[in-house]
Amino acid sequence: MRPIKNGGIIVSKNILEAPFVKEMVEVTTNLYHHGWDERNGGNVTYLLDEKAVTEYLDPTKVVRNIPMDFDGSAIKGKYFIVTGSGKYFKNVKNDPACNLGVLRVADDGQSVDLLWGYTDGGKPTSELPAHLMSHIARLSVDPENRIVMHCHATHLLAMTFSHDLDPRAFTRTLWQMCTECLVVFPEGVSVIPWLIPGSNEIGKATAEKMKETRLVMWPQHGVYGVGRDMDEVYGLIETAEKAAQVYTYVQAQGGIKQTLTDENLKKLADAFGVTPRAGYLNL
């Protein structure tokens, strides 16, 4: 591609070729094909290095400023690629520029500067409070965290109707449904109360739990996951969802006759060098 002179800065690369755009296209397409993001369900935010962004975009060229009604000043100046509100994940691969946006948290912490995307005049996901608050919370315990992902994973969602919502009980069932689970999420999963989606209240509740676990259940709605890269967060959700699917089959087959014992789980943790969340095993 020929270099483009853009506001005095030579921007020589096509953003549709940017690895972070490709990763967003790939993950939203996969989430759609899993059936976890019907219609406009789900949202993804990906924290980007300034250097990666400025290879493709002129940071001085703000397309428009979009207000938010919560305080994002802890991450002012940070860049994210974010799925659009009301956008269908099935459509992202055919039109990334309409369905995704690259934005920077403005200096006032109360708005974001759009640098690219949402070409039809769209906005970032309505779940931006939960995402940005979760980024802030997660970065405080893991400075390498980059991604927050929300989806309507079918069997996990179903479990929030039929299973005890106590996080210890919920975690233990998932750990028992597949030997890999304890190794993948030894810290367990959190569960928050049912709250209005898109609200600051659900954002605060989610972010608080993100300091302890990388998976947070939203009862009767879906799941939130975080991770350092797409594989980590996608793999986390996929593993928990698989366990929930097995649980669904087990219930349909007449219920549990035998399962992983707490001794099995302890041996597993020792073999793989992970520490199960304190107090979650009966030993």
Whether 158 contacts 223, CB under 8 Å: no
Does 235 contact ligand 13P by CB under 6 A? no
Nearer to Zn ion, 83 or 239 (CB): 83
* Site map 131..160 versus ligand 13P, x via CB under 6 A: -------------------x----------
Question: Looking at 76-195, which runs of residues are DSSP E strands?
Answer: 79-83, 100-105, 111-117, 147-151, 190-191
Find which of ligand 13P, Zn ion, none residue 206 binds, CB within 5 to 8 Å per kind.
none
User: How far is residue 242's CA from residue 178's CA, in Å, rounded to a whole number?
Assistant: 8
Q: What residues have CB less than 8 Å from 125, skipping those under 6 apart?
A: 43, 45, 82, 83, 84, 85, 131
Residue numbers 221-240 binding Zn ion by CB under 5 A: 222
Provide, rounded to whole angstroms, the least separation between the CB of residue 283 and Zn ion.
Answer: 37
Q: How many CB atoms lie within 10 A of CB 93?
A: 15
Assess whether 127 carries a catalytic annotation: yes
For residues 107 and 137, the answer to whether their CB atoms sit within 8 Å is no
Q: Kindly tell me which residue out of 41, 109, 219, 235 binds ligand 13P, with binding defined by CB under 6 A.
A: 41
Stretch touching ligand 13P by CB under 6 A, among 15-23, 26-34, 78-86, 236-244: 78-86
Q: Smallest gap, in angstroms, from Cβ of residue 83 to ligand 13P?
A: 6
125 binds ligand 13P per the rule CB under 6 A: yes
Give the CA diameter of the chain.
Answer: 69
Q: Does 80 bind ligand 13P (CB under 6 A)?
A: no
What amino acid positions are annotated as catalytic residues?
Answer: 127
